[in-house]
C-alpha cells in the first residue's frame, strides 16, 4: 500500500519526525511495561528477593572497589617484586625472570644448548685462529679463516649426526650426484670439518669440481651446492684458448666425475637447451656451466665417459634453477669472451 | 488532520503486518539488557517494593514509578539506533 499523500518536505518532515518519535516512545513504554509485569510476578511468586536472603555471605563476597585491588580484593602484582633463590646457582632472581633463568642455568631449555654450542665454537675459533696467524696471512685477509673451520666444523658434525636436516640434504644430494660424495675419501657435507690446507691439490680439484666449496664465515660450513663442470677449469686458469669443442672435451675429461646414469638423450637435450647461453668473464658458476655444456654439445655431439656424466648431472641440476635469459651468441664470440 | 491520522494508522499497520514492530521490540529489549538498563531498573524496583511493602505492591504502583525513570535512563546510543531504524523503515515503505 503506498502513501501518495505524504510528501517529505517542509512541515511534513517534522510531522514525520514526530511520528518516528512516537513510534519510539511506544516501543520504550512497551519494554518498561514488560519489565513491570516480570517484577510484579516475581514479587507475588516470592522469588524476587531470593538472592538477598543470606546477609552474611553477601557481606563476604561484596564487590570491592578500592584502587590497586581487583573486585575480589586480591592484589594484582603481588609477586612481581618478590625474589626467589635459584637452587642451582644460589642467586636471588626476580620472580618474573625466574623461569627463563632456570632454563639457562640448568641447561635444559631449547635455546640454552644452542648458545652453549655457539660459545664453544667461538672459543675454539679464537684459540685456533691465534695459533695459525703466521701461516695463514693470505687466507686471513679474506673473509674465511681456514684454520679454525676444521675444528669448528668437526664439532658440529659430531653434534648433529641425527638431525633431520642432515639426512634430508644428504638424500637430496645423493640422488643427484650419485656416489660422488660417498666415494670420496673424506666425508663432506654441510657439516664437515673441511680444511683446504690439509687436502692435496687433486682432492681440492675434485672437491671443487663437484661442489661449490665456499666456506661461510658465520657458520663455518662448506657450501655443498653442486657446481658446474668447467668451474674447475676456471679456477685453474682464467682464460683458455680452445678453438674447438674437442679440446675442451679432452680438458674436461680428466675431472673426477661420479658414475651417474643419465642417458645421452638427456645430455643432448640439455645441451640444446643451453646452447644459447653466454659466458661472462667472471667466475659465475651457473652461467659458466651452461656455456661449457652448450659448447660441448654443439662441438662434440654426444658425450661419453665420465666428463659427460658430470656435465649432465650439473646441467640437470642447473635446469631446475632459475636463470636469466641470455641471448644466443655464436661459438666464436663465446671464446672471444674467454680470451 | 485526518490525513495525518490516516497516515499514522497506515504506518502502524504496516509496521505490525511486516513484523517490523516485533523485530524492533526484540532489538530494544536486547540492547537495554546489554547496556545494563534492565539491572538498573530492577534495583529501582527493589527500592519501590521495599518502600511499598512486599505484600501490597500492585502493577500500577510499579508502572507509575518505573516508566518515567525507564524512559529517562535509556542510553543515547540505543535511542539513536532505534530512531534510525524506524526512519529507515518509513522511508522505505511509506513513500
- The predicted pLDDT at position A311 comes to 43
Domain count of chain A? 2
In sequence order, the 6+-apart residues with CB closer than 8 A to the CB of A166 are A160, A189, A190, A191
Biggest distance spanned by C-alpha atoms of chain B = 52
Grid coordinates in use for A125?
675459533
In the structure, what pLDDT confidence band is assigned to residue A283 with cuts at 50, 70 and 90?
very low
Domain-embedded: residue A163: no
Asked if A20's CB is within 8 angstroms of B83's CB, the reply is: yes
> A157, A132, A155: which is closest to A144 by C-alpha?
A132
Higher pLDDT, B75 or A73: B75
Count of other CB atoms within 10 angstroms of residue A127? 11
Domain-embedded: residue A59: yes
- The predicted pLDDT at position B42 comes to 93
d(CA B7, CA A23): 13
**B16: pLDDT strictly greater than 70:** yes
Domain-embedded: residue A96: yes
Do A60 and A91 fall within a single domain?
no
Among B4, B14, B17, B64, which would you mutate to test the A interface (most chain A Cβ atoms within 10 Å of its Cβ)? B4
d(CA A115, CA A163): 17
Asked if A20's CB is within 8 angstroms of B38's CB, the reply is: no
Domain-embedded: residue A261: no
Asked if A34's CB is within 8 angstroms of B32's CB, the reply is: no
Asked if A43's CB is within 8 angstroms of B41's CB, the reply is: no
Q: What is the pLDDT of residues A305-314, one digit of tens each?
A: 444 444 444 4
Q: Are A228 and A294 in contact (CB under 8 A)?
A: no
Within chain A, residue ranges assigned H as helices are 11-45, 55-60, 98-106, 110-131, 137-141, 146-159, 164-177, 180-183, 201-210, 231-236, 245-253, 264-274, 285-300, 305-319, 331-338
Angle at A116 between CA A107 and CA A110, to 5 degrees: 50
Among A18, A19, A29, A33, which would you mutate to test the B interface (most chain B Cβ atoms within 10 Å of its Cβ)? A19
Domain-embedded: residue A47: yes
Identify which of A3, A48, A49 has the shortest CB distance to residue B10.
Answer: A3
CATH classification at residue B59: 1.10.246.140
Count of other CB atoms within 10 angstroms of residue A284? 15
B56 in contact with chain A, both atoms CB, cutoff 8 A:
no
Q: Are B41 and A28 in contact (CB under 8 A)?
A: no
Domain-embedded: residue A175: no
Angle at B12 between CA B11 and CA B16, to 5 degrees: 115
In the structure, what pLDDT confidence band is assigned to residue A138 with cuts at 50, 70 and 90?
low
* Domain extent at residue A61: 13-70
Domain-embedded: residue A95: yes
In this prediction the ipTM stands at: 0.94
* Domain extent at residue B59: 3-93
B63 min Cα distance to partner chain A (Å)? 6
User: pLDDT > 70: what percent of chain B?
Assistant: 98
Among A4, A5, A6, which would you mutate to test the B interface (most chain B Cβ atoms within 10 Å of its Cβ)? A6
B35 in contact with chain A, both atoms CB, cutoff 8 A:
no
Domain count of chain B? 1
Q: Are A248 and A234 in contact (CB under 8 A)?
A: no
Identify which of A20, A30, A37 has the shortest CB distance to residue B87.
Answer: A20
Q: Are A175 and A320 in contact (CB under 8 A)?
A: no
d(CA A1, CA A88): 86
Please name every residue paired with A239 in a beta bridge, in sequence order, or none if there are none: none
Q: Are B3 and A5 in contact (CB under 8 A)?
A: yes
A42 in contact with chain B, both atoms CB, cutoff 8 A:
no
- The predicted pLDDT at position A61 comes to 81
Count of other CB atoms within 10 angstroms of residue A117? 14
- The predicted pLDDT at position A144 comes to 53
Domain-embedded: residue A295: no
Amino acid at each position: 500500500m503506498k502513501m501518495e499523500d505524504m510528501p517529505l518536505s517542509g512541515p511534513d518532515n517534522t510531522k514525520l519526525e514526530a511520528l518516528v518519535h512516537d513510534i519510539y516512545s511506544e516501543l520504550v513504554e512497551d519494554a518498561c511495561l514488560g519489565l513491570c509485569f516480570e517484577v510484579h510476578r516475581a514479587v507475588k511468586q516470592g522469588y524476587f528477593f531470593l538472592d538477598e536472603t543470606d546477609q552474611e555471605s553477601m557481606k563476604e563476597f561484596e564487590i570491592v572497589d578500592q584502587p590497586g585491588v581487583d573486585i575480589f580484593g586480591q592484589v594484582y602484582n603481588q609477586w612481581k617484586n618478590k625474589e626467589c633463590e635459584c637452587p642451582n646457582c644460589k642467586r636471588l632472581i626476580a620472580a618474573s625472570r625466574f623461569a627463563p633463568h632456570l632454563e639457562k642455568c640448568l641447561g635444559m631449555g631449547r635455546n640454552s644448548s644452542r648458545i652453549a654450542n655457539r660459545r664453544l665454537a667461538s672459543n675454539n675459533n679464537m684459540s685456533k685462529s691465534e695459533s695459525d696467524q703466521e701461516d695463514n696471512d693470505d687466507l686471513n685477509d679474506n673473509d674465511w679463516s681456514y684454520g679454525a673451520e676444521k675444528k669448528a666444523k668437526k664439532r658440529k658434525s659430531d653434534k648433529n649426526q641425527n638431525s633431520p636436516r642432515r639426512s634430508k640434504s644428504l638424500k637430496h644430494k645423493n640422488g643427484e650426484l650419485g656416489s660422488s660424495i660417498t666415494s670420496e675419501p673424506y666425508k663432506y657435507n654441510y657439516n664437515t670439518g673441511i680444511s683446504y690446507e690439509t687436502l692435496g691439490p687433486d682432492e681440492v680439484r675434485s672437491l671443487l669440481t663437484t661442489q661449490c666449496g665456499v666456506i661461510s664465515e658465520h657458520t663455518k660450513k662448506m657450501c655443498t651446492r653442486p657446481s658446474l663442470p668447467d668451474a674447475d677449469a676456471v679456477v685453474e686458469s682464467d682464460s683458455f684458448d680452445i678453438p674447438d669443442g674437442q679440446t675442451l672435451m679432452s680438458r674436461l675429461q680428466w675431472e673426477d666425475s661420479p658414475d651417474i646414469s643419465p642417458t645421452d638423450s638427456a645430455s643432448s637435450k640439455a645441451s640444446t637447451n643451453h646452447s644459447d647461453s653466454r659466458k661472462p668473464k667472471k667466475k659465475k658458476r651457473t652461467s659458466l656451466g651452461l656455456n661449457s655444456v652448450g659448447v660441448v654439445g654443439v662441438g662434440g655431439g654426444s658425450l661419453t665417459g665420465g666428463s659427460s656424466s658430470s656435465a649432465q648431472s650439473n646441467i640437470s641440476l642447473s635446469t631446475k634453477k632459475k636463470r636469466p635469459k641470455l641471448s644466443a651468441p655464436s661459438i666464436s664470440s663465446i671464446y672471444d669472451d674467454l680470451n | 488532520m485526518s490525513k495525518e491520522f490516516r497516515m499514522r494508522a497506515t504506518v502502524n499497520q504496516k509496521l505490525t503486518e511486516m513484523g517490523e514492530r516485533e523485530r524492533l521490540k526484540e532489538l530494544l529489549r536486547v540492547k537495554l539488557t546489554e547496556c545494563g538498563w534492565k539491572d538498573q531498573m530492577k534495583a529501582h524496583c527493589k527500592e519501590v517494593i521495599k518502600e511499598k511493602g512486599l505484600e501490597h505492591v500492585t502493577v500500577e504502583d510499579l508502572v507509575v514509578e518505573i516508566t518515567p525513570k525507564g524512559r529517562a535512563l535509556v542510553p543515547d546510543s540505543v535511542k539513536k539506533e532505534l530512531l534510525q531504524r524506524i526512519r529507515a523503515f518509513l522511508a522505505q515503505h511509506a513513500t
